Amino acid sequence: MAIDSMVAGVRAPDLEADDGLTRDTPGRATPGRATPGRAKLGTDTAELQRLDAAHYLHPFTDHGALRDQGARVMVRGDGIYLWDSEGHRIIDGMSGLWCVNVGYGRASIVDAAARQMTALPFYNSFFNTTNVPAVRLAARLAALAPEHFRHVFFTSSGSEANDTAVRMAWRYWQLMGQPQRQAIISRRNAYHGSTIAGASLGGMAGMHAQGALPIPGIHHIEQPHFVELGRGMSEAEFGLKAARWLEEKILELGPEHVAAFIGEPVQGAGGVIIPPRTYWPEIQRICDRYGILLISDEVICGFGRLGAWFGCELMGMRPDLIPFAKGVTSGYVPLGGVLVSDRVADALVEKGGDFNHGFTYSGHPVACAAALENLRILVEEGVIDKVAQETGPYLKAAFGALASHPLVGHAESLGMAAGLNLVRRKGATVHDCEPFARELGVGMLCRGHMFDNGVIMRAVGDRMIVAPPLVITCAEIDEMVGRIRACLDLTLSDVQRRGWLG
């Protein structure tokens, strides 16, 4: 999960120099130390790259490598397109980071935030106070969420949302007189954030390895990854088998010790892993059987990514808690939260007393105002219906056709999330394909070509994924998939030249 860095893209003929940046110093920065106290923010790329390398520690980044390469400086966005400081126009195939669902350049969200900043930029929601956008947003979300949800707890990020879900699950079981129910079960290759609870819930070995993680009480089972683990089975059979790993873990821990199970409806950062249709209904049955809370982490899947308001609605789940973030504001302002079902809210409200948890920015009025306008756009423009009925199926066909490429084992999508596997040799079934040796880094090679050719795509090992803004049109999907195909050709030439095809 290193950041996507730093190669040239397609130079846009149509970039207006209206971003205040000069472009007379193209090329890479020479890294170096800025003079303390004298650093003045330059407007040219090289100067920004130098200051970036000198002072800015980026998330999930090899800082030494970034310093040598120089960061790409993004300066402007419009619809599905981004422009960097050197004027390259790039298709944002990742919606920022799975979040800019309504696309860039939405003046009405800017106006809503500015109006709220003018009226009341901040007030807290502690000490029996509230604010207008937070109240309105809570009511709006209650109306949009599945029927058994009427309450919301606000945070500023997905990680905080998941920390909140864990604390809420623990508190719920205390209030229910079963305080020994503390174990939370999650899955390998899940991503639930980067705070200590979030990283513990996540199943990313590389994150656990850099500290004393996971924290005690968090357990992992295998993921429902048919390609990796389903050899010799039908998808339907594998879905049931994968769900029953949960039951085995519950019985191993003792049901009376288990508080909750958490999962993303479709794993996002793990590589757009779409589970078999049989998986989630069986998980639901198991959670019901042992009374365990089900947490549907909708930080990526919520707000239309899969062609429904929430992924759980598509998957046959009836969760008790829904952490969300990202798409609720389309990333214009940070906001997250947890939708709380009646089962949990009734305990908190009716039996509760104080729930000793919250953040300064819980219910931030500017973030909530931006979210309200973002939700208005999603509803009034029929964005999610379009993903379900028009652009999602169009992407499925266009992206699925990439499976004919000699490097592609299989390609699949759901809504506006898609993934394909780069393979050394194709096979009759997904299990007969031969992967490349992981250390060759074919996915990263391919991602480099994508950047060079003006489309942002993520590489998760050798799985290439896209999740473009939900407002992408069919013509734009054609443009994006055309560039992806061209980059697959370039990657194929590379691996042939290097003799990696055998």
User: Could you list the residues that contact ligand PXG (CB under 6 A)?
Assistant: 1, 97-98, 157-159, 162, 191-194, 198, 264, 268-269, 297, 299-300, 325, 336, 458
Distance CA 249, CA 297 (A): 20
Closer CB to ligand PXG, 158 or 454, in the complex: 158
Give residue number: closest CB to ligand PXG.
158
Q: In the complex, what is the shortest distance from the CB of residue 160 to ligand PXG, in angstroms, rounded to a whole number?
A: 7
User: Which tokens in the block code for residue 430?
Assistant: 């997904």
How does DSSP assign 217-252, residue by residue?
A: TEEEE----HHHH-TTS-HHHHHHHHHHHHHHHHHH
Closer CB to ligand PXG, 58 or 376, in the complex: 58
Amino acid letter for position 21: L
The residue among 111, 117, 46, 135 whose CA lies nearest residue 362 is: 135
Distance CA 95, CA 456 (A): 9
How does DSSP assign 325-355, residue by residue?
A: -GGGTTTSS--EEEEEEHHHHHIIIII-S--
Closer CB to ligand PXG, 97 or 486, in the complex: 97
Q: In the complex, what is the shortest distance from the CB of residue 461 to ligand PXG, in angstroms, rounded to a whole number?
A: 12
Closer CB to ligand PXG, 45 or 374, in the complex: 374
Closer CB to ligand PXG, 184 or 433, in the complex: 184
Q: In the complex, what is the shortest distance from the CB of residue 102 to ligand PXG, in angstroms, rounded to a whole number?
A: 18
**Alpha-carbon distances of 103 from 93, 109, 227, 263, 326, rounded to whole Å:** 11, 11, 32, 27, 13
Closer CB to ligand PXG, 204 or 347, in the complex: 204
**DSSP helix/strand/coil, 422:** strand
Distance CA 287, CA 247 (A): 8
Closer CB to ligand PXG, 227 or 269, in the complex: 269
Q: In the complex, what is the shortest distance from the CB of residue 268 to ligand PXG, in angstroms, rounded to a whole number?
A: 5
Q: In the complex, what is the shortest distance from the CB of residue 201 to ligand PXG, in angstroms, rounded to a whole number?
A: 9
Q: In the complex, what is the shortest distance from the CB of residue 453 to ligand PXG, in angstroms, rounded to a whole number?
A: 21
Q: In the complex, what is the shortest distance from the CB of residue 333 to ligand PXG, in angstroms, rounded to a whole number?
A: 12
Q: Per DSSP, what are the bridge partners of residue 83? A: 76, 89
